[in-house]
Amino acid sequence: MRKPFRQTYAFTAFLFAMLTVQLGGCATTSADPSPSTMESPVAADEDSAPTNEQMPQTQEPTAAAREQYRDVWEKIQQARTIDVHDDAEVRRQRQFFDDKQKFMTQIGQRAEPFLYYIVSQLEARNMPLELALLPIVESGYNPLAQANGPAGLWQMIPATGRNFGLTINSAYDGRKDPLASTDAVLDYLQHLYKNLGNDWINAVAGYNSGELVIKAAIDRNKAKGKPTDFWSLNIPYKQVKTVPKWLAFIQIIREPTHYNLTVSPIDNRPFLERLPAPNGVDIGQIANAAGLTKAEFKTYNPGYRQNAIPSKGKYQIALPLANIGTYQDNQDNLYAQKRDNSHSYIVKAGDSLGEIADKFNISVNELKQANGLTSHKIKVGQELVLSTPIATPNSAEATPAAKPKNTKTAHLASSTHHKTTDKPSVTYKVKSGDSLDKIAKKNNIKLADLMKWNQLTSKSIIKPGQKLKLSQ
């Protein structure tokens, strides 16, 4: 079985260094100082950096040609879809990362389990492969990166995540699920590309500063009869800091040796596969069933905030292909150990573990064990399982399911929705728990159309009772 985050890959180091620098404002992710904050940045000779003329902008290889690549990084290197101008800020960012091998190695270690999936999804959607470098400057490829609002590899805010189909609750944050968040972000980037002049750099700028900022700049140029490509918009750097960093890294990955860096390979083949998650099962039990350590399971599934899969709703787990067979062989035993999910409780304001345990005739220690808690600290909205795992036939006698004193228990709202083949009505009244993605799927319309018809952006917040147009 391939170990996660291989320490031997030098490329990984370079990428990690970049992550640290690019996090701009991410509270929980350490970052190297940016070129603008370093006390004494290395002043590289501008003439020594390759310009566009020195770095030929070839066409992206055909699908057949891509198959020859054994290394995902090499595939990205050869994808010359994005034209990088020899801009002063791009040069400054590029020079800053010159010779930062440790950063590159760390980035590669973090990206290794997920990079193939991201690149394969970009290929399937006919999107520039260079977009796979965006998480380097957003989070340093750290899926657990968390700022005040943004989170995950792609640093999405909650409203954008929910609007593009991610589940975010007290037990699971889809923004920190590298595979699920990639699906949502690529939907979002395609939306931005379509609405910002069919320009991928404009799309990344909109992702960074907000769709309306770039749209306003495009409209101003149109009114003056000027071009609307990113380079013609003259947007202040402080509004789109991600763009020059991303473009700089595109050039670095294309010519790493020029910057005294080594990019170690990541196999150009699938590594992870998603499977339905067993509701209410401890993640340690799942890891054991798959032949993984708990730490390895969390590496591949960082979206889970608690020590068990939520007892309600549909979720997925990602496992290495090499471990799928082992997991399937042990599934019967895993389900024998499944938590009794007939009762769960949502923590309310003023609740304590002692009060909840007394209410359901269980001890505080049993309640803590059932939920993997190491302290008495609980949060409002947190879901608690009210029994310990059922024992296996070879273990001690099973612990009986907790019987609540009050049959009125709280449950998480189901995150599922049903598609309908009926013709959508003219308007839709928003219900509790709705998101733009759910409404679009429920009424068989495109998310982009729903947003357009209602003049919404990715950050728009919808409220119960609000009416949305379902047609032009």
Residue numbers annotated as active site: 138
> Residues with Cβ < 8 Å from 64, sequence gap 6 or more?
none
Tell me which H or E stretch contains 230. Answer: helix 230-233
Alpha helices in 23-111 (DSSP H): 63-66, 72-77, 88-96, 101-111
Structure tokens at 351: 């609740």
**Token pair recorded at residue 436:** 């733009």
d(CA 208, CA 231): 16
Q: What are phi and psi of 350, to 5 degrees?
A: 90, -10
CB 93 within 8 A of CB 244: yes
- Give the N- to C-terminal CA distance of the chain in Å, as an integer: 52
By the 8 A CB rule, do 10 and 104 touch? yes
Q: Burial of 213 by CB count in 10 Å (0-12 exposed, 13-18 middle, 19+ buried)? A: middle
Question: C-alpha distances in angstroms, 275 versus 47, 278, 325, 369?
Answer: 51, 9, 12, 26
Nearest-angstrom CA–CA distance, 167 and 121: 20
268's tokens: 């150009």
Q: Are 289 and 355 in contact (CB under 8 A)?
A: no
DSSP codes of every residue in 94-159:
HHHTTT-HHHHHHHHHHHTTTHHHHHHHHHHTT--GGGGGHHHHHHTT-TT-B-SS-BTTTTB-HH
SS3 162: helix
- Answer yes or no: are the C-beta atoms of 116 and 270 closer than 8 Å: yes
Task: List CB contacts of 322: < 8 A, sequence separation 6 or more.
Answer: 1, 2
* Backbone φ and ψ of 346, nearest 5°: -100, 120
Task: Please state, in angstroms and rounded to a whole number, the distance separating the CA atoms of residues 168 and 370.
Answer: 22
Tokens encoding 101: 């091998």
Residue type, 111: A
